[in-house]
Amino acid sequence: MTVSPLRSNGKGIKGPVVLVIMDGVGIHAGKNEGYPGNALDLANAPTIKGLIQNAPISLQIRAHGRAVGMPSDDDMGNSEVGHNAIGAGRIFDQGAKLVGKAIESGKMFEDDRWMGLIGRPDRPGIALKPTSSGKRPVVHFLGLLSDGNVHSHIDHLITMIRKSHEAGVEQVRVHILLDGRDVNEVSALDYVEKLEKTLAELDASGKNYRIASGGGRMNITMDRYDAN
């Protein structure tokens, strides 16, 4: 991905600038509008409330969907997405959207890394070449099983599995990380069932495609608070 340099508009405000990022604070209806769940509205926060009401210059911007480079306006934002957009100072495609575009255009499956690992019948990658035992290697997929579109989308995984099947991969093992942060916290089985349906369909053609392991994202590789 490449982006052009930002152009100066020749305007600005003299004096120091303070950048304050408050995760989870947004502009929303409050109790006077019949919405009782706005924590900022309910809190004693005279400084931030005063700035919102009385600041000489203010601008409201969206923090979700296409406004911050997400695939669709149904996709909620989060801290990573917001920090990327603020740091870049512009709208650019976030990770899940870039992957989706690469899959849709077919460029992902023309990439040297995909071709080197999977390939196709007339140009086999590692996964299509028999080992010394005479069997072809097992292909493993590891990732977040979710449609949150922040770190991943389940459709990306399913497409890669189907492309592996089309290429002639005989065995696939999927190691799933259950979400619960970017999607409903009790929605794991919805995604497992969708994946299982695809694997069963491909299994019926004589292949061996299975879920091999799984667990919650906060316990396996994606604990943002105690990752070290």
Dist CA 143 CA 212 (whole Å): 12
| Beta bridge partner(s), residue 145 | 178
Whether 79 sits among the annotated catalytic residues: the reply is yes
Residue 228 pLDDT more than 60? no
Task: Of 210, 164, 216, give the one whose Cα is nearest residue 185.
Answer: 216
Confidence of residue 9 (pLDDT cuts 50, 70, 90): low
Report strand pairing: 171-178 vs 208-216: parallel
Fold for 95-216, please state it. Answer: 3.40.1450
Residue span(s) of the chain under CATH 3.40.1450.10 come to 95-216
Averaged pLDDT score across all residues of the chain: 87
Dist CA 68 CA 73 (whole Å): 9
Residue 191 pLDDT more than 60? yes
Residue among 4, 8, 58, 79 flagged as catalytic? 79
- Each residue's pLDDT tens digit, 104-156: 999 999 999 999 999 999 999 999 999 888 889 999 999 899 998 888 899 99
